[in-house]
Amino acid sequence: MTEAREPETDLRLFFHPRTIAVIGATDDKRKPGYALLMKVKARAERDGATVYGVNPRLNDIDGIPCFPALGDVPGEIDVAVIMIGDAEQGLRDVVAKGARFAIIFTAGFREIGEEGAKREEELARIARDGGVRLFGPNTNVNAFEMFPDTDGKKLALVTQSGHQGRPIAQGVELGIGVKYWAPTGNEADLEFADFVEYFVDIDDVAVVAAYIEGFKSIPRLRVAAEKAARAGKPIVLVKIGRTEAGQRMAMAHTGHLTGSDAATNAFFRQYGIVRVDDLDELLETAALFTRIPKPPNEGVCIYAISGGTGAHMADLCAWGGLELPTLSEETQQKLRDAIPDYLTVSNPVDNGAQVMRKPGQNRGLIDIILEDPIVGILVCPITGILPSMSKVIAGDIVDAYKTAKKPVVVIWGSPVTDEEGYRILIEGGVPMFRSFRSAVVGLRRYLDYWRFADRFEERPTPAPRLPSGFETMLSGSGPLSEYDSASIAAQFGVPFAMTALCETEEQAVQAATKLGETVVMKACGSGILHKTDVGLVRVGVAPGDVVSTFRALDEAGRAHGGDAGYDGVLVQEFASEGEEVILGFSDDPQFGPVVLFGLGGVFVEVLKDVALRVAPLTRADAEEMIREVKGFPLLDGARGRPKADIGALADLILNVSRMACELRGRVAEFDLNPVRVRPEGQGVVALDALVVRSRG
């Protein structure tokens, strides 16, 4: 037995080991293991590292010295690759040898079900107890892939599936810089977040590209994503599990739980994680971040060589939310000197293929465009044209890309990729899209990331805390009455309509007299959840009807709520003015409390027009949520309505976020439905509340 020691945390040693031992090294050229061994060998040769084989039958494999057991290998081992079926034994040997990292190539763990999951936990335990950091199981040796050591910024790749990473790693064929590849497999120990944290510290890594089936730990992801955001380095990823079918595949594959997708998207927005839909987008979007910096503004100018191209791009830009500002008079005038009258120069600019024949002509026009302060990014869509022409324009675009202060992007819209123009663009390193649509989508995501970066702020999570006096009430399980739910929410600054809980007719009459001309009356109790559905809400009760209403509600309330679930009749101030919204949170098994905001009381379930954010929220989150719902114009003064008090609504959302965090683990669901948002300056008022306590 070796003494327990601190596990290695510096992943540099993992990616740059001095010594590597391959347990189960084979000399059988027909086996994939042989090719993998050769890959490790090639990499070690490049970096001046030493590779050892462990195989009781062999002394040497193509110059790699072999030993009968890992214990026989001389010196210290930085990384041990386990390629034998009995991974547990292999790992115990690694622990005994005192190696720092183990890569477990072997499959057949969590991905095959419960039995495999148990074995995997055992691996994690052996590694933890032995101070070895574990990579895999069910991974490969792609971490030792050799990428060209090009100049400039690069992407670092993390994939939970080797095959899904290959097309991104192959981006090097397009001149895209790739620094590292972590194919993490089942993540029994080292996980996505560990690699993100390591990669964003590396100077020439500009972006982390990832293919993810499920996150092992959301708290770890949060920390890593915050670190990435602080560094201004985006995480661009494909996250599967959008649909049920996708989720089942993910369970079967690496065995992660995929969280509810809406919560996942909310989390991504809040942490600046750029979600893309497929591997093409992953490569193109990640590459964009390696090649162009933050733009000075969001104005896009299209520099096209045909009116059709310009019009098509303009159409797609409008669809995809890219702004094409009109160029200034001065800019248009200058362009006009070279471009005939019948072509547009306002944006899109259409050079009509008139000025692209001589090298430098396009460059002159591009410079004029980029000098216009309204332009933040230049996009040059090139469709298949005569090779002699595309060569000239490509040369000018590369020139502009390399020297201009603003981002320049090209679209190569032709399937022909063996002509000179294409080669010039690839060699020039201009960010390239292969379709108009993908360019628009990619640029929108790129701009969204920089918007995020501009308003990024840390979001400390409030510690769990029960409001004093409510400890007993909150330690039970199941729903609470409207009255109790509102009393708890009021502790978090939620303003309610004035309400009295009345057990007698006299109390009801007294309360009604105080609360105004007409009142609202409701039966109240933990056994009465959706009061309207069972006829237990009366809106606009006149003074003369208070007694009869009390009697009717009292009787029906007892009948519905039962002895334990009925408390009395609420007499409530009648709140007529304002738009009805819903606000609440529910505890997601992966993300914790997720805050929901939506419009329109009764229609919310029909229209599903809601916005979600994972707690805790920032003020920017709250403001964004309000604007995100389709019905926002109703709050914003549409059709002659008064503008609603959005500031007070944002405050309320933040209060609900704090409540979600402080009552974490105690409250499974919370609803304020409805809240009325009054006209500007008049605040908000909640009219109903429901707390559902967590089990146990």
- Give the binding site for ligand ADP (CB under 6 A): 497, 520, 522, 530-532, 537, 539, 572-575, 580, 601, 673-674, 687-688
Quick one: 77 or 528, whose CB is closer to ligand ADP?
528
Answer for the pair 235, 210: CB distance below 8 angstroms, yes or no: yes
The one of ligand ADP, Mg ion, none whose footprint includes residue 537, by CB under 5 to 8 A per kind, is: ligand ADP
**What is the three-class DSSP state of 675?**
strand
Rounded Cα distance, 144 and 204, in Å: 18
Nearest CA among 628, 560, 651, 549 for reference residue 266: 628
Please say which residue, 103 or 575, places its beta carbon nearer to ligand ADP.
Answer: 575
Q: How many CB atoms lie within 10 A of CB 226?
A: 17
Judged by beta carbon distances under 5 to 8 A according to partner kind, the member of Mg ion, ligand ADP, none in contact with residue 453 is none
Two structure tokens written together for 596: 């929901």
Q: Are 58 and 34 in contact (CB under 8 A)?
A: no
Cβ-proximal residue to Mg ion, closest one: 688
Comparison of 251 and 497: residue with beta carbon closer to ligand ADP: 497
Q: How far is the CB of 498 from ligand ADP (least distance, A)?
A: 9
Question: Closest CB to ligand ADP among 298 and 573?
Answer: 573
Facing residues of 115 across strands?
none
Q: Which is nearer to Mg ion, 290 or 673 (CB)?
A: 673
Q: Which DSSP string do the residues of 384-413 spell out, in sequence order?
A: S--HHHHHHHHHHHHHHHHH-SS-EEEEE-
Residue 572 interacts, among ligand ADP, Mg ion, none and using kind-specific CB cut-offs from 5 to 8 Å, with ligand ADP
- Radius of gyration, alpha carbons of the chain: 31
Length of the chain in terms of residues written: 696
CB of 539 to ligand ADP, least distance (A): 5
| Residues 6+ positions from 646 with CB-CB distance below 8 Å | 623, 626, 635, 636, 677, 680
For ligand ADP, the closer of residues 118 and 514 by Cβ is 514
Taking the complex as a whole, the smallest distance from the CB of residue 680 to Mg ion amounts, in Å, to: 25
Residue 417 touches which member of ligand ADP, Mg ion, none, C-beta under 5-8 Å by kind: none
CA 441 to chain centre: 16
Q: Which is nearer to ligand ADP, 251 or 569 (CB)?
A: 569
* Token output for 513: 């007299």
Binding-residue total with Mg ion (CB under 5 A): 2
**Residues 655-674 close enough to bind Mg ion by CB under 5 A:** 673
Q: Give the nearest distance from C-beta 625 to Mg ion in angstroms.
A: 20
Nearer to ligand ADP, 242 or 558 (CB): 558
Q: Is the CA virtual torsion 169, 173, 176, 179 positive or negative?
A: positive
Neighbours of 581 (CB within 10 A): 29
Q: Which does 530 bind (CB under 5 to 8 A by kind): Mg ion, ligand ADP, none?
A: ligand ADP
- For residue 147, what are its two tokens? 């990428």
- Residue 597: Cβ-neighbour burial (10 angstroms; 0-12, 13-18, 19+): buried
Listed in sequence order, the residues at least 6 apart from 41 whose beta carbon sits closer than 8 Å to its beta carbon are 51, 62, 63, 64
The widest CA-to-CA distance across the chain, in whole angstroms, is 102
Q: Please count the other Cβ atoms lying within 10 Å of the Cβ belonging to residue 291.
A: 22
Residue 497 binds: one of ligand ADP, Mg ion, none (C-beta under 5 to 8 A by kind): ligand ADP
Comparison of 400 and 570: residue with beta carbon closer to ligand ADP: 570
Nearer Cβ to Mg ion (162/557): 557
Say whether residue 396 binds Mg ion (CB under 5 A).
no
Which tokens belong to 75? 């010196």
Site for Mg ion contains 549 (CB under 5 A): no
Q: Which residue number, 256 or 531, has a Cβ lying nearer to ligand ADP?
A: 531
Tokens of 164: 């899904």
Min dist. Cβ of residue 648 to ligand ADP (A): 17
How far apart are the C-alpha atoms of 526 and 487, rounded to whole Å? Answer: 13
In this complex, which beta carbon is closest to ligand ADP, that of residue 292 or of residue 599? 599
Minimum distance, C-beta of residue 610 to ligand ADP, in the bound complex (Å)? 16
Site for Mg ion in 584-613 (CB under 5 A): none
428 vs 600 by CB, closer to ligand ADP:
600
Q: Which does residue 556 bind out of Mg ion, ligand ADP, none, counting CB within 5 to 8 angstroms by kind?
A: none
Question: Quick one: 53 or 598, whose CB is closer to Mg ion?
Answer: 598
DSSP secondary structure code for residue 211 in this structure = E
Tell me the DSSP string of 229-274. Answer: HHTT--EEEEE--SSHHHHHHHHHHT-PPPPPHHHHHHHHHHHTEE
Q: Is 688 in the site for Mg ion (CB under 5 A)?
A: yes
Token readout for 443 is 């640029």
SS (H, E, C) 132-200: CEEECCCCCCHHHCCCCCCCCCEEEEEECCHHHHHHHHHHHHHCCCEEEEEECCCCCCCCHHHHHHHHC
Least distance (Å) from Mg ion to the CB of residue 688? 3
DSSP readout, 552-608? Answer: HHHHHHHHHHTTTT--EEEEEE---SSEEEEEEEEEETTTEEEEEEEE-GGGHHHH-
Alpha carbon of residue 239 to chain centroid:
9
The residues of the shown chain that bind Mg ion, judged by CB under 5 A, are 673, 688
